[in-house]
Amino acid sequence: MNGRKLGLVAVMALAVGLVIAAPAAQARKKVITKTFEVGVGAPSGGFAIPINDGAGQAAQLARSGIDVRGLNPRGKIKHVNVGVRAQHPYAKDLEFYLATPRGVINLSHDVGGDGNNYGAGPASCAGIFTTFDSNTPVSIATPGLQAPFAGFFAPMESLNLLNGLGDKKATNARWSLLAEDDDNMHPGGTLECWYMTITTTNPRR
């Protein structure tokens, strides 16, 4: 009897060990998602940035940076989304790019027909964003698509190019949104707010 009891105890101990080990294994493989936001009304602060009217050599880049913090330096990026809220009377004049540790990605340019703005609602982080998501089937460059692009759209160049980027390069790095008005036939605009959502792996070692 004592032998049988000892056997049962051993089996139960093994089962408990497996239960404890399973969450630990999952923790090593799980992913985390962080959102970084800057602009009018953002928790971290910010202000509207002018997008000056121009064309050719007169064109000027408006730049807004986000300091990425808190990613696991051992992890790898799985997905990136970018949200933009901008005011402009003729959205087709605008170009947006994301400057990353892996290079510059073209989000959109010369799209929107006769519509105005990127996003809708309040001219701040409280508004509805134009969100660039490469897993969305509708491209921002779909013929006939009118601004303000309130919702999710695939950018002109895929953000999936960032997938696999090691967090060691992304952590403590500055990512920037670049905006340009490349047509001097209409007034300029303003970048009110933008954000990035980064999903990465979170290995323990």
**More reliable by pLDDT, 55 or 48:** 48
- Which residues form the domain of 68? 31-201
* 144 is a domain residue: yes
* 74 is a domain residue: yes
* 5 is a domain residue: no
* 1 is a domain residue: no
Q: Which pLDDT score, from 0 to 100, does residue 8 have?
A: 40
Residue pair 19/140 in contact by the 8 Å Cβ criterion: no
* 66 is a domain residue: yes
Count of beta carbons in the 10 Å neighbourhood of residue 160 = 16
In the chain, % of residues over pLDDT 90 = 71
Please tell me the least confidently modeled range out of 16-20, 24-28, 36-40: 16-20
* 44 is a domain residue: yes
* 26 is a domain residue: no
186 half-sphere exposure, CB direction, 13 A CA radius = 18
**More reliable by pLDDT, 8 or 53:** 53
Indicate if the alpha-carbon torsion angle 48, 49, 54, 56 is positive or negative: negative
Rounded Cα distance, 196 and 75, in Å: 17
Residue pair 159/134 in contact by the 8 Å Cβ criterion: yes
**Average pLDDT along the chain:** 86
Res. 6 pLDDT band, cuts 50 70 90? very low
Question: For the domain that residue 116 is a member of, what is the CATH number?
Answer: 2.60.120.260
Q: Which pLDDT score, from 0 to 100, does residue 22 have?
A: 46
Locus of tokens 């959102």? 35
**Total domains present in the chain:** 1
Q: Which pLDDT score, from 0 to 100, does residue 78 have?
A: 96
**More reliable by pLDDT, 178 or 169:** 178
Q: Which pLDDT score, from 0 to 100, does residue 118 have?
A: 98
* 10 is a domain residue: no
Please tell me the least confidently modeled range out of 11-15, 98-102, 161-165, 169-173: 11-15
Q: Is 96 exposed, middle or buried (0-12, 13-18, 19+ CB in 10 A)?
A: buried
List pLDDT tens digits, range 73-130.
999 999 999 999 999 999 999 999 999 999 999 999 999 999 999 999 999 999 999 9
List pLDDT tens digits, range 64-85.
999 999 999 999 999 999 999 9
